[in-house]
Structure 1
Amino acid sequence: MKPSTKAMPLRVCARLTLAALATSTFSVTALAEQESLDAMTITANRMPTENALAPNTVITRADIDRLQINDLPTLLSRYPGIDMTNSGGLGKASSIYLRGTNSGHVLVLVDGVKWHSATAGTPSFQDFPVNQIERIEIVRGSRSGLYGAEAIGGVIQIFTRQGKNQSPTPYASVGIGSHNTKQASGGVSGGNETTRYHANFTHQSTNGINAREEDNPDHDGYRNNSFSARVDHQLTEGWSIGANFLRAQSRNHYDSFSLTEDYYANNVQQVLGVNTQYQVTDFWLMSLNLSESRDENDNYVNGMPDPQGKTYNTRHRFISLVNTFMLSKYQRLNVGFDYDHDRVESTIDFDESSRDNKALFVSWQGEADRHSWLLSARHDDNEAYGEKTTGTAEWGYQLTQGLQVVANAGTAFKAPTFNQLYYPDVGYFVGNPDLEAEKSKNYGIGLLGNANWGNWGVHAYQNKIRDLLVYQFPTTENVAEAKIKGIEFDLGTTLLNWQIQFNATVLQPEDEETGNKLPRRAQRLANLHVDRQFGDWSIGGSWKVSDYRYDDAANNTRLGGYGLVDLRVAYQIDNDWSVKLNAMNVFDKEYQTVNNFNTLDRTYMLTLHYQP
Structure 2
Amino acid sequence: MISCVSFSRGRAFARRSRLACLPLALASAFGGLVHAQQAQQAQPAPQTPTLGETVVTANRTPQALTDLVGDVSIVDRQTIERSGATGVADVLSRLPGIEITRNGGVGNTTSVFIRGAETRFTAVYLDGVRIDSQSTGGAGWEGIPLSQIDRIEVLRGPAAAVYGSDAIGGVIQLFTKRGEEGVSPYAGVGFGSRGLRKIEGGVSGKSGLLDYSFGVAHEESKGFNVQPASKRTVSKDGFTNPDRDVYRSTSGNLKLGFQITPDQRIDATLLASDTDAGYDPSIGYKTKPPILFKNDISSNTLRTAGLTWSAKWNDVYSTRVQVTDSQSVYKTQPSFYRTETHLRGYLFQNEFRFGPHLVTATLERREDALENAPTTSAKLFSRDRAQNALSLGYGFVQGPHSLQLHVRRDNDSEFGGKTTGSAAYGYAITSTLRATVSAGTAFRVPTLYQRFSEYGLASLRPESSRNVELGLQYTQGATNAGIVVYNNRVQNLIVFDSSAKGCQSSFGCYSSTARARYQGVTLSGGHRIGDVTLRTSLDYQDPRDLATDRLLARRAQRHATFGADWRIAGWTLGAEVQTSSKRYDDAANTVKLGGYTVLNLSASTQLTRDLNLVARVDNVGNKDYQFARLYANAGRTAYVGLKWTPQ
Q: Same fold (TM over 0.5)?
A: yes
| Shift of residue 260, structure 1, vs aligned partner | 4.8
Trace 1:224-263 onto structure 2 (pairs within 5 A): 224-256=249-281, 257=283, 258-263=291-296
Match of 1:373 in 2: 403
**Bigger Cα displacement from structure 2, 156-165 vs 38-47:** 38-47
Is structure 2 residue 599 aligned with structure 1 residue 565? yes
* Aligned: 1:314 with 2:314: no
Pick aligned residue for 1:109 from 125, 140, 153? 125
**What is the one-letter code of the residue matched to 1:170?**
P
Structure 1 residue aligned with 2:237:
none
2:196 aligns to what?
A: 181
Q: Give 1:593-604 correspondences, 5 Å limit.
A: 593-604=627-638
8 Å Cα contact 1:566-1:583 kept in structure 2: yes
Would the aligned equivalents of 1:217 and 1:259 in 2 still touch at CA under 8 Å?
A: no
Aligned twin of 2:169? 153
Q: CA RMSD in A?
A: 1.6
Is 1:44 the equivalent of 2:58? yes
Q: Which residue of 1 aligns with 2:212?
A: 197
Q: What secondary structure is seen at the aligned counterpart in 2 of 1:91? A: coil
Matches for 1:21-60 after TM superposition, within 5 Å: 39-50=53-64, 51-60=67-76
Q: Match of 1:262, SS?
A: coil
| Alignment partners' CA distance in 1, 2:293 and 2:441 | 50
Deviation of residue 415 (structure 1)?
1.6
Match of residue 494 from structure 2: 469
Question: Which of the residues 364, 386, 393 maps onto 1:363?
Answer: 393
What is the DSSP-based 3-state SS (H/G/I as helix, E as strand, rest coil) of the residue aligned with 2:474?
Answer: strand
| 1:324 counterpart = 2:338 | no
SS at match of 2:543: strand
In 1, distance between residues paired with 2:294 and 2:634?
23
> Once the 2 structures are TM-superposed, how far is the Cα of residue 523 of structure 1 from its aligned partner?
0.8
Residue 3 of structure 1 is matched in structure 2 by none
Partner of 2:110: 94
Instruction: Indicate the residue corresponding to 1:300 in structure 2.
Output: 333
Cα distance per residue 1:495-525 (max 9 Å; x no partner): 2311222111111110112110011000111
Segment of structure 1 superposing worse, 39-48 or 407-416: 39-48
1:186-224 per-residue CA deviation (whole Å, 9 max, x = no partner) reads 010111352210000011111111111333111001100
Separation of aligned partners in 2, 1:436 and 1:508: 26
Runs of 4+ in 1 over 6 A off after TM superposition: 34-38
TM-score with structure 2 setting the length: 0.85
Taking the TM superposition and a 5 Å limit, the aligned residue runs for 1:509-528 are 509-528=543-562
Provide the rounded CA distance (Å) in 1 between the counterparts of 2:52 and 2:618. 29
CA distance in 2, matches of 1:228, 1:480: 41
For structure 1, the residue ranges without an aligned partner over 5 or more in a row are 1-33
1:404 counterpart = 2:434: yes
**Secondary structure at the residue paired with 2:450?**
helix
Q: Deviations over 1:258-315 (max 9, x none)?
A: 33542112220111100001112221101000010110123222xxxx4xx2221111
Q: How far apart, CA to CA, are the structure 2 residues paired with 1:334 and 1:458? A: 30
Structure 2 counterparts to residues 502-513 of structure 1, below 5 A: 502-513=536-547
Distance 1:245 1:364 in 2: 32
Letter in 2 for 1:223: R
User: 1:577 & 1:300 partners in 2: Cα distance?
Assistant: 41
- Give SS of 1:588's match: coil
Q: Alignment partner of 1:400: what SS?
A: coil
Contact 1:332–1:365 (Cα < 8 Å) also in 2: yes
Report what 2:181 is aligned to.
165
SS of corresponding position for 1:137: strand
Alpha-carbon distance between aligned partners in 1 of 2:531 and 2:399, rounded to the nearest angstrom? 36
Instruction: Name the structure 2 match of 1:530.
Output: 564
Q: For residue 496 of structure 1, what is the aligned residue in structure 2?
A: 530
Q: Which residue of 2 aligns with 1:21?
A: none
Structure 2 distance, partners of 1:501, 1:607, is 25
Distance change (3 Å), C-alpha of 1:113 and 1:38: farther
> Contact 1:210/1:220 (CA < 8 Å) preserved in 2?
yes
Aligned to 2:308: 275
Q: Does 1:284 align with 2:317?
A: yes
CA deviation profile, 1:22-53 (whole Å, cap 9, x unmatched): xxxxxxxxxxxx99886322101112222111
Equivalent-residue separation in structure 2 for 1:188 and 1:490 (angstroms): 37
Shift of 1:237: 1.2
Query: Which gives a bigger RCO, structure 1 or 2 (Cα 8 Å, sep 6+)?
Result: 2
Deviation at 1:116, TM superposition (A): 1.1
Alpha-carbon shift at residue 331 of structure 1 (Å):
1.2
How many residues in Structure 1 have an aligned counterpart in Structure 2? 566
Q: Which stretches in structure 2 are left out of the alignment for 5+ residues?
A: 1-47, 234-239, 284-290, 499-507
- The worse-fitting range, judged by mean Cα deviation, of 360-369 and 406-415 is 360-369
- Of 87, 97, 100, which aligns to 1:84? 100
SS where residue 255 of structure 1 aligns? Answer: coil
Percent of aligned pairs with the same residue? 30
Q: For the residues of structure 1 that align with 2:49 and 2:292, how far apart are their CA atoms?
A: 55
Q: CA contact under 8 A between 1:392 and 1:411: conserved in structure 2?
A: yes
- What letter is aligned with 1:43? T
Output the CA distance in 2 between the equivalents of 1:297 and 1:38: 41
Q: Please state how far the C-alpha of 1:350 moved relative to its aligned partner.
A: 6.4
**What is the rounded CA distance, in whole Å, between the counterparts of 1:89 and 1:237 in structure 2?**
47
Asked if the contact 1:90–1:208 (Cα under 8 Å) also holds between the matched residues in 2, the reply is no
**C-alpha distance in 2 between matches for 1:230 and 1:369:** 38
Is the CA contact 1:506–1:525 (under 8 Å) kept in the aligned structure 2? yes
CA offsets, 1:155-193, max 9 Å, x none?
A: 011111111111x22101101111101111101011135
Q: Is the 8 A contact 2:386 2:412 kept in 1?
A: yes
Distance, in Å, in 1 between the alignment partners of 2:248 and 2:556 is 30
Deviation by residue 1:307-330 (Cα, 9 ceiling, x = unmatched): xx222111100000000011x221
Structure 2 counterpart of 1:6: none
Which stretch shifts more, 590-599 or 121-130?
A: 121-130
Whether the aligned pair in 1 keeps the contact of 2:402 and 2:427 (CA below 8 Å) is yes
1:350 and 1:422 in contact (8 A); partners too = no
Pairwise CA distance, 1:127: 2.1
1:385–1:435 CA contact under 8 A, matched in 2 = no
- In 2: Cα distance, 1:60 partner to 1:557 partner: 38
CA offset at residue 388 of structure 1? 1.1
Q: Distance in 1 between matches of 2:433 and 2:443?
A: 33
Taking structure 1 as the reference length, the TM-score comes to: 0.90
SS of the residue 2:117 aligns to: coil
Give CA-to-partner distance per residue, 1:352-386, whole Å, 9 cap, x none. 51101101001111123321110000011111233
Counting only pairs closer than 5 Å after superposition, residues 375-394 of structure 1 correspond to structure 2 as 375-394=405-424
